[in-house]
Amino acid sequence: MIKILKDGLLTTIQDLGRTGYQKYGVIVSGSMDTYAHRLANLLVGNEEEEALLEATLLGPVIEFKKDTVISICGGDLSPDINGKKVGMWKAIFVKSGAVLKFGKPKTGCRAYIAFAGGLDISKVMESRSTYIRAQIGGYKGRPLQSEDVIPLRRSSADHSQSQASTEDLLFNETDWTIASDMIPNYTSRPVISLIKGPQFEWFKEESQKALYSESFKISSQSDRMGYRLEGASLFLKAKKELISEAVAFGSIQVPPDGNPIILLADRQTTGGYPKIGQVASVDLPVLCQTKPGEQLSFKEVSLEEAQQAYLEQEHSIQLLKRSISLKIKEAFS
């Protein structure tokens, strides 16, 4: 099990989302950076969708009450174990008694901490994701707090103690890591691939051009539900009414004030504002690692280009999955 000694800014339990319930008004939720989430789980031998911890900006302090294997992917929040820096995007054997801490964010803003076997908590509507507003899922439907104790499920990594080089070593980094070309470049000024939205043609020509030529700043009034953007105002050619319709992760809605909102993991199930664009799936992780106050810009891509980029990424992930699976079998056979 693990014990939370300090809770950090916002640490929640997330999986890949509560799918199949939007028709009842229940949001999907889940991890913001699904790419980092999936790779963190693969590194410790879990299924990709297994629940883990999502830490935002200021990470928690975690004490390990049993030997286990962890990985930390996503934003680099300067993790260390018992005062010694640990690597990102790799599997790490950790002994009981070790303490994981985080420091100043270096790149990105969200770190994903996966534990071999996963977190031993109950599902709500087939998901362990925390939906804070409804107080369901995760641990008591809320962000983790100091003194919370979360049990871990057993896995083959329970034999990890024998992998440490000395008896007094509290952690040992393995060679199970991610190739550098698979690690996202979390920059403070990302260029995000964007497909034209279903109501793109409703907007004035100058607004259409501004969407792809201007930079936008992420407002401080942003959260897991959506990023509010500040910059060029985007306006319709004429006032139109839109019946509320389904929205997706990465849909860009534009309310009457002209300031676009990118809908994210905790988005509502439907929306009535016109959608000027849709962020390509492969760029959602990079988008979700940007912080309030940072800027981003968009580049236009076609639906076909976005689909091809997605297929290439999925192919790389599946190759990685097979490679790690073989390493785990060799290590624990």
Quick: pLDDT tens for 197-208. 999 999 999 999
Identify any residues that bridge with 85 across adjacent strands, giving them in sequence order: 80
**One-letter amino acid of 145:** Q
Find the radius of gyration of the CA atoms of the chain. 21
- What is the spatial distance between Cα 8 and Cα 60, in angstroms, rounded to a whole number? 4
- pLDDT value, residue 166: 38
- Global pTM value: 0.93
pLDDT band at residue 70 under the 50/70/90 scheme:
very high
What residues does each domain of the chain span?
A: 2-184+316-332, 191-301
Q: Is the dihedral of CA 172, 102, 75, 122 positive or negative?
A: positive
- pLDDT value, residue 173: 73
Task: Output the CATH code of domain 191-301.
Answer: 2.40.100.10
Query: Which ranges of 97-231 does DSSP label H, i.e. alpha helix?
Result: 205-213
Q: Residue 295: pLDDT above 70?
A: yes
How much is the average pLDDT of 63-73? 95
- What is the spatial distance between Cα 165 and Cα 321, in angstroms, rounded to a whole number? 26
- What is the spatial distance between Cα 109 and Cα 80, in angstroms, rounded to a whole number? 16
